[in-house]
Amino acid sequence: MHIPWRRVIRRILSMLGTLLGVAVFVFIMLRAIPGNQITAGLGTEAAALTPEQRLALEAYYGIDKPLVVQFFTWLGNVLTGNLGFSSRSQVSVLSLTLNALPVTFELAVLSILLALLIGIPLGMLSASKPDSPRDAIGQLIGLAGLSVPSFLLASALLTILSAKFGFNPNGEAYATLTEDPVRNLRQMLLPSLTLGFGIAAPIMRTTRTALLEVRSQDFVRTARAKGVGMRRLQVRHILGNALVPIVTITGLQFGYLLGGAVVVEQIFSLPGIGRQVLIGIQGKEYAVVQSTVLVIALLFVVVNLLTDILYRIIDPRVRAE
């Protein structure tokens, strides 16, 4: 297989540029927000600190050095695999991230699977007879998925199921997939349903539009004229050729999910990457936020890259380009 090296190198350089941009942006943004780790830790009690105590604490948190020194010290550490230390949790950021990432990754995979299971059939149903009642129902469900905020759906699911049926697996201590697969999947059920329902909507709409577009193309008419069966025509010829936009939207949504679904993780008490960033911001733990956001950005660009590679696999026209 021919590998377009120039394009690969250009892509890698662009990814590195993006990551550096994210690093600089997050570093500056964090410091632009009022407060620091001292006031976040002590609250208004910080008003009672003597100047000597304040200086001692600034040195302890490493915020007494010039910003440029702080930035390159952190970046240098990151390049050697040291993502920093969380003084709040008393563990390394790497360790925190390695614990949180699988939670978010699993949630993202399950949510995307559910979204695809809901979105593609609904899209196909709608596209099979445009402007019919079945199309209207499909569109209505899609609209609901887009318009119901995840915090509302999450709170409603949790409150109703626990108050009326005593069902709330997320009230139990969190179990990883390896510790207790059954409890883990029970705990992932409601959050991935909440997220999957929201993501199913754009997938459904994209599927519908793409299917309608492909259906009107010449090769479909030819296939039909040649007597290809309806099921084979729908799945192999039409859906197969409509996959590129569906993969694009799925890849994008998956990338966003890897950034952590903060609200859903909060409501369902999932110790994922979104919560890690939120707690880091609240506690003004610079290293935690900077390093975690960098990891998220890295995941996002990698997912984007994989999506692009997937185009080449599923669509010969992209390969030909």
Partner 1 sequence: MTRGSRLTRGSLSLIGLGLAFAMAVSGCSSSTAGGVATSTAPKVGGNLVVGITTDPDNLFPWKATQFQAVNVLQTLYGTLTEFDKDLNVVPGLAQSWTYSSDNLTVTMKLRQGVKFADGSPFSSADVKFSLDKIKDKTTAAVAAASLASVTSVDATDANTVTLHLSAPDAALLANLASVNMAILASNATEEALKTTPNGTGPFVFKERKPSQSITVARNDAYWGDKTPLDSVEFRIIPDETSIVSAMQSNNVQLAVLDDPLVAKTAQGGSLTVAKTPQLSYHVLQLNASRSVLSDVNVRLAMQCAIDRQQVLDTAALGEGEVTGPITSPAYKSDPAARPCPTRDLAKAADYLAKAGKSGGVTIKTIVSQGEYATSVAEAQNLKAQLADAKITLDLEVLASNAYVDRWVAGDFDAAVALNGGRPDPDGMYGRYFTSTGNLNKVAGYSSPELDSLFAAGRQSSDPTTRKDTYSKISQNLEANAAWIWLFTGYQYTVTSSKVSGYTPMANASIQFLRSTSLG
Determine if 167 is a binding residue for partner 1 (CB under 8 A): yes
Region from 10-18, 113-121, 126-134, 155-163 binding partner 1, contact rule CB under 8 A: 155-163
| 115 to 154: interface string for partner 1, x by CB under 8 A | ----------------------------------------
Calpha distance 200→125 (Å, rounded): 14
Calpha distance 230→100 (Å, rounded): 46
Determine if 188 is a binding residue for partner 1 (CB under 8 A): no
Determine if 185 is a binding residue for partner 1 (CB under 8 A): no
Q: Using the minimum distance from each CB to partner 1, give the nearer residue, 191 or 251.
A: 191
Calpha distance 279→300 (Å, rounded): 21
Q: Using the minimum distance from each CB to partner 1, give the nearer residue, 3 or 33.
A: 33
Q: Taking the chain, what is the end-to-end CA distance rounded to the nearest angstrom?
A: 14
Q: At 313, which amino acid appears?
A: I
Chain centroid to CA 294: 14
Determine if 178 is a binding residue for partner 1 (CB under 8 A): no
Q: Using the minimum distance from each CB to partner 1, give the nearer residue, 51 or 66.
A: 51
Determine if 80 is a binding residue for partner 1 (CB under 8 A): no
Mutual orientation of helices 286-314 and 93-128 as an angle, nearest 10°? Answer: 40
Q: Give the SS3 label for residue 102.
A: helix
Residue 47: CA count within 13 A, CB half-sphere: 3
Q: How far is CA 228 from CA 168, 219, 225, 316, in A?
A: 49, 11, 7, 22
**Binding-site member from 46, 148, 189, 305 for partner 1 (CB under 8 A):** 46
How many residues belong to the site for partner 1 (CB under 8 A)?
Answer: 52
Determine if 207 is a binding residue for partner 1 (CB under 8 A): no
Contact residues: partner 1, CB under 8 A: 33-35, 39-50, 52-53, 56-57, 86-91, 96, 99-100, 155, 158-159, 162-163, 166-168, 170-174, 266-269, 271, 275-276, 279, 282-284
